Every structure is written in C-alpha cells, then in structure tokens.
Amino acid sequence: MVFRFDSMARATYALLMSLLCVGGEVLLLGLDYLGVVIILMMTIEMAIMAVFMVMYMMNPAGLLPMSMVHNRKGAAWISAAVFAVLAAGALLAPWPARKGRPPEDPTTALGLSLMGPQMLTMMVLGMALFATIVATVVLATRRGRYDRFGDDPRARVRTRARTTGDPVRGDGGR
C-alpha cells in the first residue's frame, strides 16, 4: 500500500501498519520485550516521519498524482526474478535439524547472541543517551514550571480567579 497512495503521510502510515505486523510476528514468536519495543519504536518513528513529510514534501496531501516507482516493467521483471530465486533457494536448500532445546528466556539469549560481552556497555549507553535527551529538553526550555507564579506552587490556587501577568505571550493571561 505504500506505493499505491498519492499522499506521503498515508504512505507513511501504511508503512507503519506493515511494521506493526512485523512487531506482532515477533510477539507471536515469544519475544515479548523485543516485540513491544519494535511496536513502540516504529509507532513513534513513523509519527515523526509523517510530520516531517508534511513539512518538507512538495505534495504532502497527495493532491497531485505521484508515483514512487520508475521503470515499472523493468521493476516488475526484476522483482519476479528475485522472488523466483529466493523461493527456489528456500525450497531447495537443505534445512538443518534442531540441535538442543530452545532457551528458557529467548530475549536474553537473543541479546547475548547480538551483543555478546558488550550487553552491559549497550545498556549503559542507552541510559546515557536517555539522560542526554532529557537534559537537552530541560536545558532547551527558557522558562521553568513556576515562572508565572514564582517559587510558591500554591500561588496558582490563590491566583486562579485573576490574571497572572504571564511574561510569555500566547497563554491568554491564564
């Protein structure tokens, strides 16, 4: 469906639906944590991508017809040939027999096979990146939580009936 829509925003959400299906398949495989992470990450990523598409694309709403495919006949022949080769490989290749038992915790086994001894390093890096994002957002705001009311958080209750003299415009004095 990504290639059928004229709107880039609709194409983005069609891609989101396919990625949510992939996350659902990972959940069905028993990798609950990884499946939930894929679903959350893809949802946020595609929402941000749709916003940037609308901002920067020449035709974000799809009011003019567009095509994301060039050389349709050549692309169709190439994709059919690639599909035939991959299908033949999947059907004719000797599949190995299972050795051993499946792990008790597939998420841990997957993490160890992907990261090996660097798992702790990646967890620390993840926390450091999260702290950096939070600190960046906090430092980017010019005003704090109580700028309109001073240091006393109870002042909001007392001043609710009157205007607060907000130094930053845009809140209508409330």
Domain boundaries, the chain: 1-66, 112-165
Task: Return the amino acid letter for 115.
Answer: M
Q: Which residues contact 75 (CB under 8 A, 6 or more apart)?
A: 69
Question: Is pLDDT above 80 for 168?
Answer: no
pLDDT tens, 119-165? 778 788 889 999 998 888 888 776 665 565 556 656 555 555 455 55
Query: pTM value?
Result: 0.43
How far is the C-alpha of 56 from the C-alpha of 8, rounded, in Å? 11
How far is the C-alpha of 155 from the C-alpha of 151, rounded, in Å? 8
Structure-token pair, residue 69: 């495919």
Q: What is the 3-state secondary structure (H, E, C) of 2-19?
A: CCCCCCHHHHHHHHHHHH
How far is the C-alpha of 164 from the C-alpha of 143, rounded, in Å? 15
Question: Is pLDDT above 60 for 76?
Answer: yes
Grade residue 54 by pLDDT with cuts at 50, 70 and 90: confident
Look over the chain and give the mean of its residue pLDDT values, rounded to a whole number: 79
pLDDT at site 138:
80
**Looking at residues 169-173, what average pLDDT do you find?**
51
pLDDT at site 120:
79
pLDDT tens, 82-110? 999 999 999 999 988 888 888 898 888 88
Report in angstroms the alpha-carbon separations of 104 from 58, 101, 110, 119, 138.
Answer: 51, 9, 11, 18, 41
Structure-token pair, residue 16: 């989101």
Question: Is pLDDT above 80 for 59?
Answer: no
More confident residue, 94 or 113: 94
How far is the C-alpha of 139 from the C-alpha of 132, rounded, in Å? 10
